Chain A
Amino acid sequence: MLSQLPALQVVIPLIAAPLCVILRNKEISCLVSQAVSIVSFLISLILLQQVLNQNVISYALGGWLAPIGIEYRLDILNTFILVIVSGISSIVTIYSKKSIEHEIDSEKIYLFYTGYLLMFSGLLGMSITGDAFNVFVFIEISSLSSYAMIAMGKDRRAVSASFTYLVMGTVGATFFLIGVGLMYAMTGTLNMADLAERLPKVYETKAILVSFAFISIGILLKLALFPLHLWLPNAYTYAPSVVSAFLSATATKVAIYLLIRFGYTVFGSDFVFIKYPTAEILASLAIVAIIVCSLVAIFQTNIKRLLAFSSLAQVGYIILGISLNNLNGLTAAIVHIFNHAISKGALFLAMGCIALVIGSVKIKDMEGLGKKMPFTAFAIVIGGLSLIGVPLTAGFISKWYIILGALDKGWWVLAILLLLTSLLALVYVWRIIEAMYFRSSENVYKINEAPISMLIPMYVLVIMTIYFGIETSFSAGLASEAAKFLIGT
């Protein structure tokens, strides 16, 4: 049983999805999603325990050994990602019931959970698999279901946002497919570990350079690095709140994991960072992303849109960490995947509470909310502080490592620049706080705090945001182990 856990990790949500369609009941499908998420979370924790003991777990699907068969390969990095994805999913599904009933037609709710489970299994599959073509299949499983879920938003712009995402997402996935095809043509294998061994012999060929370019652009489209981010703001703004929270906390993060996996394991850092100026390209795009997207975020009137642009800026920090190509930089990237998932997850869940209670996420409708919805408002404050990177919140840990990484590399101008960009985050977070606490509302009607079933999951994330800002042996500890494993020291 224990040896079958890697397969069960992906298969359980995949089987539960059609189950929801057969049952056609919103209550049961919600319960099924919660149960599946929690079981997946437990499996990922057991796998993490196993990986810490034996370093790498290799699972041959159907008994066909790698490199012929499809291999699920777990190391400390992707097991950490599995824990993040399934943990966030457990919290989001427990939160989702009331919010989904409010935002989605009641006869479509079971279909929503079907799509959710498919996307969940796609994301887990993307993280766990050790086969390059299999990654493509799972990318499409998760993307197709996320297009459908975004289109379920109430506003009609949700549908056009979903269409834009469909077109750009498919182009990204197809680019990835071209890259994998070229690698296969040059090496004759699709297994990642096998590719890593065979690729150095053909490093000099143009085909591998082209393949690397297609794969990285395909993945960058998926993770929405500036200037390939155009699909993201509308998709996050008009999707149902639960979907925005889940997408921002996990979907882009898994794409970032793929970039790390292909950059460090498959192609190897010698090829990516020394032979070609990938680091310089990624770093400059990331800096532009951080500055431009933070500036755009400052001028938004819709808070979900503001948070979407802030996500783009935070993706910039993660990519910057990867591009530093040293231990601290990579640790910063991996730990920020975790820290940003919990703090942005908390913020989007808080937006869901506000959308449920006052029916709007415009900044002008949030005036005086600090008194009316004290718990939700406080959650936004903590999440916002973490985005800025204030000490004692999780965001500070990531900023700390990334600045150490920049100093290790000798890019001290960058380190100063990073501190200055935190001020931009301060401005957009301050705008929300000012509206909530320092302006009184003209509306006199009484509003209640969000239901307790939504507050508790949200506060789990808020407490984690503070906890992992103080006690970092789990988050930063695992991240630096993973970084050491990748760099190979």
Chain B
Amino acid sequence: MLSIRNISKTFNAGTVNERKAIDNLSLELNEGDFVTVIGGNGAGKSTLLNLIAGVYMVDKGKIFADRIDITRLPEYKRASFLGRVFQDPKMGTSPDMLIEENLALASRRGQRRTLRWGITELEREKYRETLKSLNLGLEDRLTTKVGLLSGGQRQALTLLMSVLKKPKVLLLDEHTAALDPKTAAKVLEISEKVVKENNLTTMMVTHNMKDAITYGNRLIMMNSGHIVVDISGEDKKHLTVKDLMDLFSSASGSEMTNDAMLLS
């Protein structure tokens, strides 16, 4: 479904701040894979997702989505393949626009924006139904500005928006990291439900090792722009946090020191 072949990305090349974020990385995602991605700060997790999404262009290598070469496609064109939820709850929605307007924008992802009316009565009914499934009471607030919602509500809405038009790949970039634990759990629960219902190929970056083990059918660990661990199937099911830490030490040749990763 998603095929990443030998991609590299260096930031600030040729300056003192030169940083190799992704180094000759390859990854194949099969249809229906739910991959969790972990790794320390600066390991390249978010950069990897941003390269897939086209926020940055790769320096080298190729990216294919559903056998289509998207390596040089601009971000907005790749959007028709991708659903994205970001770490910052503010990033995925338009605060000045109504809940229903945000949803209507998302349901037209990958389509030409015409001079037809931006939202129809039929859609409103559909959105009300879909929002009901989130259990956040948003179905009665279709005409509320998104800027008035809480971070958790905005993330749940962004999640819904990212799958309203079924994407080939869903990219979740630490989408619960900015939320309080209870809300984070709720958003994760919704995420899993949405992924299962739509049988979505998913990549979820997380700082939480327990979540990385609990969710998905495959886990990859990154370090210095490489994939150092790739576990799936039965092996992943029996993983423990301790296993992961040992794997990290042997793969990176250093003790795990990142506090954020130890929290779980």
Q: Do they bind each other? A: no
Partner-B contacts on A (CB < 8 A): none
Residues of B within 8 A of A (CB): none
